[in-house]
Amino acid sequence: MQLYNYFRSSASFRVRIALQIKGLGHDYCPVHLLKGEHKAPDYASRSGDALVPTLVTDEGQVLTQSMAIIEYLDEVHPRPALLPAGALERARVRALAQMVACDIHPLNNLRVLKYLVHELKLDEAAKNAWYRHWVRSGLEAVERQLALLARERAAQGLAPSVLCWGGQVTLADCCLVPQVFNGQRMNVALDDLPLTQGVFAACMALPAFRQAQPSACPDSEA
């Protein structure tokens, strides 16, 4: 397989985590977003969105969109699973993942931030205020959802979880960790979100997450 990605892209980070968790070998193919390499004809011709990540399977099939890629990997390589067995449990995990991927990330990705600066003429301080506001409010919602799930587990007599869902790394963790990672880099206030911070710390203690982080990437500028 080949993974076309950018080391700081949180969507790319999600897929790198999934590949590491499943122990799937792949060629790392850097696409530098700041240099506009995703717009180059050779790359852009691979998919309609010309974004990262893009996964090329062993059979040469091209897959885009991180959530679809991760669920594909989970179906084709089901162990260890990134979604629980039950339909209700899978829906809960997908909901947590989508709180990040659908509610937070679209408002703070690179092309949005560039538009704020180049088209709407926001200065650096205003752009960063936009970023921090939407990441912070989104992670506050995640914190509330984690608290609801924790109370539900307690009511069922289940042990507290340090991960998003039970003792199993899931799609939700794959999405939450990169968003927290980038939020920290942009100085988003997170100290008063203990459940979110706890999930992040527990995940980053695992080799798969450390090996997938931006500083471990071949094209890292860190």
Query: Average pLDDT, stretch 21-27?
Result: 97
Predicted structure pTM score: 0.95
pLDDT per position as a tens digit, 71-98:
999 999 999 999 999 999 999 999 999 9
Question: Whole-angstrom Cα distance, residue 120 to residue 118?
Answer: 6
The confidence score (pLDDT) of residue 48 equals 87
Q: Tell me the residue ranges of DSSP E strands in the chain.
A: 2-5, 27-30, 54-56, 62-64
CB 173 within 8 A of CB 133: no
Domain boundaries, the chain: 2-80+212-216, 87-206
Query: Average pLDDT, stretch 13-19?
Result: 98
pLDDT per position as a tens digit, 165-203:
988 999 999 999 999 999 999 999 999 999 999 999 999
Among residues 48, 82, 38, 115, the alpha carbon closest in space to that of 209 is found at 82
Query: Average pLDDT, stretch 18-35?
Result: 96
CB 15 within 8 A of CB 3: yes
The confidence score (pLDDT) of residue 222 equals 47
Q: Which two tokens stand for residue 53?
A: 């990540």
pLDDT per position as a tens digit, 124-169:
999 999 999 999 999 999 999 999 999 999 999 999 899 999 889 9
Q: Hey, is 104 helix, strand or coil?
A: helix
pLDDT higher than 90, residue 3? yes
Among residues 22, 118, 111, 123, the alpha carbon closest in space to that of 69 is found at 22
pLDDT higher than 60, residue 45? yes
Among residues 161, 181, 160, the alpha carbon closest in space to that of 100 is found at 181
Q: Hey, is 166 helix, strand or coil?
A: coil
End-to-end alpha carbon distance in the chain:
26
Q: Which two tokens stand for residue 4?
A: 């076309």
Q: Look up the CATH number of domain 87-206.
A: 1.20.1050.10
Band of pLDDT at residue 221, cut at 50, 70 and 90: confident
Among residues 130, 85, 94, the alpha carbon closest in space to that of 112 is found at 130
Architecture of domain 2-80+212-216: 3-Layer(aba) Sandwich (3.40)
Please tell me the number of Cα atoms within 13 Å of 50 on its side-chain side. Answer: 12
| Per-chain mean pLDDT for the chain | 96
CB 66 within 8 A of CB 40: no
